[in-house]
Amino acid sequence: MADHRVPKGKKETVYDLAVIGAGSAGFSAAITAAEQGANVALIGHGTIGGTCVNVGCVPSKTMIRAAEALHGARAVRRFPGLSGDAQVDDWRSLIAAKDDLVSELRQKKYINLLPEYDGITYLEGAGRLDGAGVIVRDAPITAGKIIIATGGRPSVPPIPGIEKVNYLTSTSLLDLIDLPESLIVVGGGYVGAELAQMMGRMGVDVTVICRSRLLPQAEPEVSAALADVFRSEGITLHCGIAYNACREDNTGVTICAEDGGKLIELTAERLLIATGRAPNAERLGLAEAGITQDARGAIIVDDRMRTSKAGIYAAGDVTNRDQFVYMAAYGAKLAALNALNGDTLFYDNEVMPWVAFTDPQVAGVGMTEAEARQRGFAVKMSVVLLEQVPRALAARDTRGLVKLVADADGGLLLGGQILAPEGSDSIQTLALALKFGMTADALGEMVFPYLTTVEALKLAAQGIRKDVSKLSCCAG
């Protein structure tokens, strides 16, 4: 991208807002400010577009869909009289197609947008704070307010020996020229689970190791059911272990761990580290600017996206807030509006839906059972297996369940999770129910279309008070 700064010798431009970072959060802040009539400096370093379009959501989800297509062909045997198979014929062509999609979306949704907003000036370079303002390429930028949106990157746990191992991250895994025969995945969270299943379906022998359980963010019933799915697909799971050391030699990568009090060694051709993300905050001059960070190094922001330094805001993965791209964009929009209009808007994630794109997909919103109890609620739960959902029976795919949590006294819905094929497309219904304060009875009395996955929410809501296995189709 071109550097549109005013040449030396001419009057310096004074910006209303400087945004450091040109990913999803940075663009959200810049566009929001420009729509308010502000003059914005959008400062980008490296590939424009940030994590989501370049190395995160877009490339991973198209590869996950490809793996689902492979699995779907093989799983057709669940219908009597049908058979099928599929395999990876040309991995490099698949990677090239992924790269083409990324390039297309980067161009359409980022680069091509800049000329559409007269109020945005794009400045190429690594921005940093100098205590008084922003420095880009050793030149000061004068701005009334500043938003930091530099994102994050894969973090690496301090496993002894890891510095000598040619490990993969979620970024480099999706750029592999050749498929490995075997893979150890360290981490069982969203990213680790998604990529482990994707690689397993591509024909790789996959082992997942994690300190807790698969998807520890999910309800225990959901986590256990997904673990059963993984094992049924040939993925080996070692959960609740401690990592002692790792090494690499001509036999591959070996992880030494403690599992149930026993020392084990696991060896594979490649090692994927998927243990979370670290904020891109080291070179911003935060300490000099008086901006407080947490133990992880993330910028601490309040509920109006303000840092500890007046006039400086932050949003997205560089902060201590939710690590989802849509929440990064939402937080950045709030930051821009607050910076320009007097800090009147509050960050609200009470009904924030989230999704893990495994198969079945895992989606949730609101409180878990444990969280509800911690907040002092007396709770009632309902767990409906997909074996009770007509859509799943017709599809001959009953992998999954729905769990709802409600206040035992008034029946107010507090939260819920869905484990189901395409379960992500149903979670917004529950999010709306929580947003508008619905009770389980009210949700259960609504009319839902028959033979849909979302009907499982109706059954689960009815299950708060009754045994839905005793209902006929469409009853209730």
Segment 371-391 shows an average pLDDT of 97
Whether the Cβ atoms of residue 176 and residue 60 lie closer than 8 Å to each other = no
| pTM, to two decimals | 0.94
For the chain, the average pLDDT equals: 95
Whether the Cβ atoms of residue 425 and residue 419 lie closer than 8 Å to each other = no
Q: Does the pLDDT of residue 2 top 70, yes or no?
A: no
Segment 227-232 shows an average pLDDT of 98
> What local confidence, expressed as pLDDT, does residue 476 receive?
56
pLDDT band at 3 (very low <50, low <70, confident <90, very high): very low
The pLDDT tens digits for 10-52 are 557 899 999 999 999 999 999 999 999 999 999 999 899 999 9
> What local confidence, expressed as pLDDT, does residue 11 receive?
59
Segment 67-93 shows an average pLDDT of 97
Whether the Cβ atoms of residue 35 and residue 82 lie closer than 8 Å to each other = no
Task: Write the CATH number of the domain with boundaries 14-49+110-154+278-341.
Answer: 3.50.50.60
> What local confidence, expressed as pLDDT, does residue 1 receive?
37
Topology of domain 354-465, CATH: Enolase-like; domain 1 (3.30.390)
Q: What backbone torsions phi and psi does residue 382 show, to the nearest 5 degrees? A: -135, 130
My answer on whether omega of the bond before 360 falls inside 30° of 0, hence cis, is yes
Task: Write the CATH number of the domain with boundaries 162-275.
Answer: 3.50.50.60
CA distance 228 to 301: 39
CA distance 149 to 315: 5
CA distance 356 to 188: 11
**Where in the chain is CATH 3.50.50.60?**
14-49+110-154+278-341, 162-275
> What local confidence, expressed as pLDDT, does residue 7 receive?
45
Q: What residue has token string 């821009």?
A: 336
Q: What residue has token string 């670290």?
A: 278
Q: Does the pLDDT of residue 257 top 50, yes or no?
A: yes
CA distance 415 to 368: 6
Residue 377's CB is within 10 A of a number of other CB atoms, namely 18
Q: What residue has token string 């992998």?
A: 399
Secondary structure of the chain in HEC code, one letter for each residue: CCCCCCCCCCCCCEEEEEEECCCHHHHHHHHHHHHCCCCEEEEECCCCCHHHHHHCHHHHHHHHHHHHHHHHHHHHHHCCCCCCCCCCCCHHHHHHHHHHHHHHHHHHHCHHHHHHCCCEEEEECCEEECCCCEEECCEEEEEEEEEECCCEEECCCCCCCHHHCCCECHHHHCCCCCCCCEEEEECCCHHHHHHHHHHHHCCCEEEEEECCCCCCCCCHHHHHHHHHHHHHCCCEEEECCEEEEEEEECCEEEEEEEECCEEEEEEECEEEECCCEEECCCCCCHHHHCCCECCCCCECCCCCCECCCCCEEECHHHECCCCCHHHHHHHHHHHHHHHHHCCCCCCCCCCCCEEECCCCEEEEEECCHHHHHHCCCCEEEEEEEHHHCHHHHHHCCCCCEEEEEEECCCCEEEEEEEEECCHHHCHHHHHHHHHCCCEHHHHHHCCCCCCCCCHHHHHHHHCCCCCHHHCCCCCC
> What local confidence, expressed as pLDDT, does residue 475 receive?
56
The encoded tokens of residue 338 equal 């607050």
Q: What backbone torsions phi and psi does residue 435 show, to the nearest 5 degrees? A: -60, -40
> What local confidence, expressed as pLDDT, does residue 131 receive?
75
> What local confidence, expressed as pLDDT, does residue 468 receive?
83
CA distance 418 to 401: 6
